[in-house]
């Protein structure tokens, strides 16, 4: 499928791109891709940002839109897509040297076949004519940290603040009420660490269906959206670039999820993100180096289990106050109902894969009280729902536990190596954290007698 990204009133598709679907990025008129990031840059007193950072954001936004709007169901195997995309950039000469690296990176990220081309544009998305009256001061920040509202990013924020850093927390406002939660956490941080400077920024991004020149629109959409996390990092880098060219960007995520091994053979085409896998980060950093972006991208939780991350901050007052409100669920916005029959969200469901990992990470937290739609304590709900799709993730996790117990270190190393190109030292570290995470899951399951009934034990 051919996709053409049109920036402002840029060129219409030409040549072999005549049969393309057109995405339009436009700040003032009707647009099929839209984001509030230019307003955020503007409030940071940026009448225009450095072209290389604008280009990076446009690339991330374009991939996000393509990934979200091109359905896997319209391709032969209902998974692997073939996508050709033309993206307008200001610094054409620099980006044109990275085409092959982008294609490899995106193939690893989304599991598709990408053909990337860049073209020169003079249109500047970030440009503003008049100075603004609202100001966001990030100059006193010394780092940027992704702040999803999840347990890992929450613990990462505490770690940075304990180290005396002054972070700018960047949240992606993916669904209603998420920003409200993120803001609540940051307000708590400001009260607890009142002597340190910090800022919170929430950006939004979305896309409508692209159209052809004949006016017809692309039908269907995609819900796997692996490209969303790439946009998250590109946005954070644009903000880090405003603070300073060497300002680091932290992406706190536990190593087990970052490694992202398939739980079963049928889940090899997993929908989970790969943006914190070392292989992805290595390729991404190579691209940044080639175009002259000096900001480092760091995951300081890369080789830690989620339980180890929690244990490192669980005794802090701020953790105890807010950890139960963090959202780790894979589908937090599915409508759910409380005892009074009213809808409420976002909330952790309690039965999906990320929720099971979350539960295993809180085993050392005294009197852990977590809000879940189902299974607030243990896995009792599975007896009731064992014949529905709600049990699928548990079965997959149990399969991974069972297989890992039979697996030798050599077999596990081959499995880890197959998931992405890693160095020998990295593989050794991942063997350790994989074994520990599996043990944490075993401990979680063994604490729940209802599981014995399901398994017939």
* pLDDT tens-digit map of 393-426: 888 888 888 889 899 999 999 999 998 999 999 9
- What pLDDT is stored for residue 456 in this prediction? 46
End-to-end Cα spacing for the chain: 51
* Residue that terminates a domain, selected from 92, 127, 162: 127
Predicted confidence at residue 266, as pLDDT, reads: 57
| The predicted structure's pLDDT at residue 351 | 80
| Number of structural domains found in the chain | 2
How would you label 398-426 residue by residue, b for 16+ Cβ within 10 Å and e otherwise? bebbebbeebeeeebbebbeebbebeeeb
Listed residues 127, 157, 185: the one ending a domain = 127
Does 306 fall in a domain?
Answer: no
In-domain check, residue 358: yes
Any domain includes 209:
no
Grade residue 79 by pLDDT with cuts at 50, 70 and 90: confident
pLDDT at 383 over 50: no
Q: Is residue 417 part of a domain?
A: yes
Mean pLDDT for 96-102 is 98
pTM flag (> 0.85): yes
pLDDT at 355 > cutoff 50? yes
Q: What pLDDT does residue 139 have?
A: 93
pLDDT over 70, % of the chain? 88
136-161 average pLDDT score? 97
Band (pLDDT 50/70/90 cuts) for residue 447 is confident
Q: How confident is the model at residue 376 (pLDDT cuts 50, 70, 90)?
A: very low
Of the candidate ranges 139-148, 249-258, 303-312, 338-347, the one whose mean pLDDT is the lowest: 338-347
At 374 the pLDDT is 63
- Predicted confidence (pLDDT) at residue 23 exceeds the cutoff of 70: yes
Residue 32 included in any domain: yes
- The pLDDT value given to residue 153: 98
The mean pLDDT of 351-373, rounded to a whole number, is 85
Q: Per the domain annotation, does 286 fall within a domain?
A: no
pLDDT of residue 449: 61
The band of 118, judged by pLDDT with boundaries at 50, 70 and 90, is: very high
Q: Is the pLDDT of residue 367 over 90?
A: no
Q: pLDDT > 90: what percent of the chain? A: 67
Q: Is pLDDT larger for residue 446 or for residue 358?
A: 358
Please give the average per-residue pLDDT across 79-101, as a whole number: 97
Indicate if the pLDDT at residue 50 is higher than 50: yes
Whether the pLDDT of residue 379 is over 60: the answer is: no
For residue 362, what pLDDT is reported? 94
Mean per-residue pLDDT over the chain, rounded:
89
Q: Of 159-168, 215-224, 323-332, 379-388, which gets the smallest average pLDDT?
A: 379-388
* Domain ranges, residue 111: 1-127
Residue matched to tokens 């809808």:
343
Give the per-residue pLDDT at 133: 82
164 in a structural domain: no
Q: Which of 107, 127, 147 is the last residue of a domain?
A: 127
Confidence of residue 231 (pLDDT cuts 50, 70, 90): very high
Residue 276 falls inside a structural domain: no
**pLDDT number for residue 378:** 47
């Amino acid at each position: 499928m051919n996709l053409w990204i049109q920036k402002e009133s840029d060129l219409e598709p030409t040549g072999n791109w005549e049969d393309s679907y057109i995405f339009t990025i436009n700040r003032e008129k009707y647009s099929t891709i839209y984001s509030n990031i230019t307003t955020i840059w503007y409030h940071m007193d940026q009448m225009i940002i450095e072209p290389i950072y604008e280009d990076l954001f446009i690339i991330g936004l374009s991939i996000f839109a393509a990934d979200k709007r091109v359905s896997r169901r319209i391709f032969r195997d209902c998974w692997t897509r073939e996508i050709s995309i033309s993206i307008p950039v200001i610094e054409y000469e620099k980006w044109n040297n990275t085409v092959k690296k982008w294609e490899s990176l995106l193939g690893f990220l989304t599991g598709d076949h990408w053909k990337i081309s860049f073209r020169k544009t003079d249109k500047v998305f970030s440009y503003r004519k008049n100075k603004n009256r609202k100001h966001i001061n990030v100059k006193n920040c010394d780092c940027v940290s992704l702040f999803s509202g999840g347990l890992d990013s929450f613990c990462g924020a505490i770690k940075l603040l304990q180290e005396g850093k002054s972070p700018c927390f960047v949240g992606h406002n993916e669904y209603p009420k998420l920003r409200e939660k993120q803001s609540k956490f940051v307000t708590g941080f400001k009260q607890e660490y009142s002597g340190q400077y910090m800022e919170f920024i929430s950006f939004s991004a979305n896309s409508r269906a692209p159209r052809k020149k004949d006016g017809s629109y692309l039908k269907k959409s995609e819900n796997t959206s692996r490209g969303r996390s790439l946009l998250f990092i590109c946005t954070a880098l644009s903000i880090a670039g405003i603070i300073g060219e060497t300002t680091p960007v932290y992406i706190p995520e536990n190593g087990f999820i970052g490694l992202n091994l398939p739980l079963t053979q049928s889940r090899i085409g997993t929908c989970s993100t790969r943006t914190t896998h070392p292989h992805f980060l290595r390729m991404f950093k190579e691209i940044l180096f080639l175009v002259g972006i000096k900001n480092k991208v760091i995951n300081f939780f890369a080789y830690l289990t989620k339980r180890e991350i929690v244990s490192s901050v669980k005794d802090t007052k701020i953790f105890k106050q807010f950890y139960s409100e963090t959202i780790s669920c894979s589908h937090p916005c599915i409508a759910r109902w409380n005892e009074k029959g009213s809808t409420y969200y976002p909330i952790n469901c309690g039965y999906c894969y990320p929720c099971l990992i979350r539960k295993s990470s809180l085993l050392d937290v005294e009197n852990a009280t977590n809000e879940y739609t189902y299974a607030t304590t243990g896995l009792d709900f599975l007896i009731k729902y064992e014949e529905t799709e709600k049990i699928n993730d548990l079965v997959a996790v149990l399969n991974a536990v069972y297989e890992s117990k039979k697996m030798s270190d050599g077999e596990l190393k081959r499995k880890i190596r197959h998931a992405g190109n890693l160095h020998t030292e990295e593989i050794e570290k991942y063997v350790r954290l994989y074994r520990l995470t599996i043990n944490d899951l075993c401990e979680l399951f063994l604490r729940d007698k209802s599981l014995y009934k399901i398994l017939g034990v």
